[in-house]
Amino acid sequence: MKSKHIRGVNDLGKDGIQEILSLSDHFFEVSTRRIPKVPALRGRTIAWLFYENSTRTRLSFETAAKRLSADSMNFSVSSSSVKKGESLRDTVETVSAMGVDAIVVRHSSTGVPWLLPKWTDASIINAGDGAHEHPTQSLLDCYTIQKQLGGIEGKKIVIVGDIKHSRVARSNILAFKAMGAEIVLVAPRTLLPVDTSTWPVEISENLDESISDADVIYMLRMQLERQKEAFVPSLREYTNDFGLTLERAQKLPKHTIIMHPGPMNRGVEIASEVPELGNAVVTNQVSNGVIVRMAVLYFLLGSGAELSEDGNDNE
C-alpha cells in the first residue's frame, strides 16, 4: 500500500523502501543527463518548515524539488511570525491554506510530524524530529550501501557513537533491519538509550573487535547540542576508545565502507584524514541524498504517469 506520509521508516516498511530504492535508480539516470531536470512534479507545491538548523538535508530537498520542477514555499523560522509567538498549529494551517501538497518538517521535538496531519491534508515528510527519526537519511544510506556493496541483506553494519541522541541511528536501525542486515551498535553505555532490549541489534563496547569483519562502519556525530550533561569523561578518551582513527581505518578489510551522515566533528568521532580515504563514501551519501529525495518526493506526489518505461518523461 502506498503511504501518504514519510514520518518514520515504518510508514514505508520493506516494500516502500524497496520501491524508493528502485525509483532512485531512475532518478540517478536523470541526474546523469545534460539537463538533470524533469517536469514530473510541475504544478505541485512543497513547503519547508525547518525549525532546526540544517545544511545538507535542506539543500538536498530543495535541489530535488527543483529538479522535479516542483514549486517551493520557503519559510524561514528566524524571519517568520514564529518569532512573534505563532504556534506550530497556526503556522501549519496558514501554509496549508495557501495550497501545499507536501510539508517537509524538521523540529527539535519528537513526534511533530505525527501531529501535523491534524491540521493539514498535505503529505508530511520528516526531515528530523528531535532524537527520534530521520527517515530520508536512512533511505539515502540504504541506497548508498546498495550501490557500493551490491545489496544490504546479510551485511554486517556497525553503528558507532552517540546512539542515545541520534535520530539517524534510530531510523537506520529500522531500515537496515527491514532490509535484512545484521546490526552492531558500539558506544559507551552512557551514550546508549537506557533500554535497548527490544532493539534488533547486538551491542558492544569493543570497537576494534566489532569492526574487524564489518561491511559498513557508520560513524555518528557527537551531538553536543543535545547533551545536557557530560556523557564521556573527556573527548580525547572518547576518540581513543570509540573514534575512527587513521590507524583503525587503515586496518579495515578492503571492502569495508566508511559512512557518516554529516556534519562531521573531525578529530572527535572521525580523524580528519579518514573521510578522504578511498573506502569512505561520505560525499557519495550527499550526492545520493539529492537522488533519493527526488524519489521520495515523486513517490508521495507523482501520479505514476509521468515516468515512462524508457525513463523519458511523457510530458
Q: Pick between residue 262 and residue 302 the one whose CB is nearest to ligand NCD.
A: 262
Residue 297 near ligand NCD by CB under 6 A: no
- How far, in Å, CA of 93 to CA of 87, rounded? 10
User: How far does CA 190 lie from the centroid of its chain?
Assistant: 24
The 3-state secondary structure of 52-108 reads CCCCHHHHHHHHHHHHCCCEEECCEHHHCHHHHCCCHHHHHHHHHHCCCCEEEEEEC
Member of 67, 167, 170, 177 binding ligand NCD (CB under 6 A) = 167
Contact, 311 vs 30, CB < 8 A? yes
Q: Pick between residue 120 and residue 128 the one whose CB is nearest to ligand NCD.
A: 128
Q: Name the E strands within the chain.
A: 45-50, 71-73, 102-107, 123-129, 156-160, 182-186, 202-204, 216-219, 257-259
Residue 12 near ligand NCD by CB under 6 A: no
Minimum CB–partner distance for residue 198 and ligand NCD (Å): 22
| Cis peptide leading into residue 263 (ω within 30°) | yes
Minimum CB–partner distance for residue 97 and ligand NCD (Å): 29
Which run of H or E residues covers position 300? helix 282-301
Minimum CB–partner distance for residue 96 and ligand NCD (Å): 25
Residue 165 near ligand NCD by CB under 6 A: no
Number of residues lying near ligand NCD (CB under 6 A): 11
Residue 164 near ligand NCD by CB under 6 A: no
Residue 288 near ligand NCD by CB under 6 A: no
Minimum CB–partner distance for residue 128 and ligand NCD (Å): 5
Q: Pick between residue 106 and residue 177 the one whose CB is nearest to ligand NCD.
A: 106
Phi-psi region of 26 (alpha: psi -120 to 50; beta: other; left: phi over 0): alpha
C-alpha cell at 30: 536523470
C-alpha cell at 129: 524530529
Q: Pick between residue 60 and residue 91 the one whose CB is nearest to ligand NCD.
A: 60
Q: Which residue has the closest beta carbon to ligand NCD? A: 221
C-alpha cell at 260: 557518516
Member of 134, 164, 177, 293 binding ligand NCD (CB under 6 A) = 134
Q: Pick between residue 40 and residue 160 the one whose CB is nearest to ligand NCD.
A: 160
Residue 163 near ligand NCD by CB under 6 A: no
x-or-dash pattern for ligand NCD, window 79-108, by CB under 6 A? ------------------------------
Which run of H or E residues covers position 260? none
Residue 262 near ligand NCD by CB under 6 A: yes
Q: Interface residues for ligand NCD in 54-83 (CB under 6 A)?
A: 56-57
Interface with ligand NCD (CB under 6 A): 56-57, 128, 134, 137, 167-168, 221, 223, 261-262
